[in-house]
Amino acid sequence: MKNHDFDRGILDRVDHRPWPMPAAPWLMRQTWHDLLFAHWPVDKAALAAKLPSSLTLDLYDGEAWLAVVPFHMTNVAPHGVPSLPGMSAFPELNVRTYVRVGDQPGVYFFSLDAANALAVVTARTMFHLPYYQASIRVEAQDGGFRYRSRRSGLGSSAALDVAYRPDGPVSHARAGTLEYFLTERYCLYTVGKGGHALRLEIHHPPWPLQPAEASIQVNTMADAVGIRLPSRAPLLHFSRRLDVVAWPLARVE
């Protein structure tokens, strides 16, 4: 996997954004590869109860959604710093939902598992994000990927074992659709030590989405958060690649 091929041309593609990019210089770049969105509708009261009080759960047609998102990254480095072997490429696994502060929608992460100890410590310290060290294996398989993750630490039960692959043509979500609501988000939220909301702005091109199929053997990622997933099959999307830049955290006034 190439680790020096970040597409800086994304900075000129802004017409799709719901609000302007920040005027300040961006801080961090990443490239996300072979990503699976697995979304379930979940009980909105139970989900809202897990959020910090400074954040409001964002709903689509009255429904709340939780996602388990496995992928792997390259080109992970600060602005102006070259990608480094052993530090700038690693797999990650997110559990996320959708929130807003005022009129600005974003993503809220319940957990982010990564197979890179330095990334875990850095993200916890700099970005106040709930990163965890995990043992993760990603293998090409039958035109797709086998992704196996288990969180490190005594007593941890957060694990995922899934085989997935794309199953249809690439398209971009139309504004107003569920797919747009679930994917086209340009900031994330977390909270500071005092409980106040913090926003981290991001920029990327529109998501190149494909329908996906998946066989989930183990999934206790939501259980680790205390959220029960429904027995129905998840809504699945695959994305081959997305280049992303991010800005520093800022307090929401």
Q: Which CATH architecture has domain 8-19+28-251?
A: Beta Barrel (2.40)
Spatial neighbors of 48 by CB under 8 A, at least 6 apart, are 57, 64
> Residue 39: phi, psi to the nearest 5?
-110, 140
pLDDT of residue 1: 55
Residues 209-224 have pLDDT tens digits of 999 999 999 999 999 9
Q: How far apart are CA 160 and CA 164, in angstroms?
A: 12
Average pLDDT score over residue span 179-204: 96
3-state secondary structure of 232: coil
- Provide the pLDDT confidence category of residue 3 given band limits of 50, 70 and 90: low
Residues 25-70 have pLDDT tens digits of 999 999 999 999 999 999 999 999 999 999 999 999 999 999 999 9
Task: Between 83 and 96, name the one with better pLDDT.
Answer: 96
pLDDT at 101 over 70: yes
Domain boundaries, the chain: 8-19+28-251
pLDDT of residue 2: 64
Beta strands at 131-141 and 104-114: parallel, antiparallel or unpaired: parallel
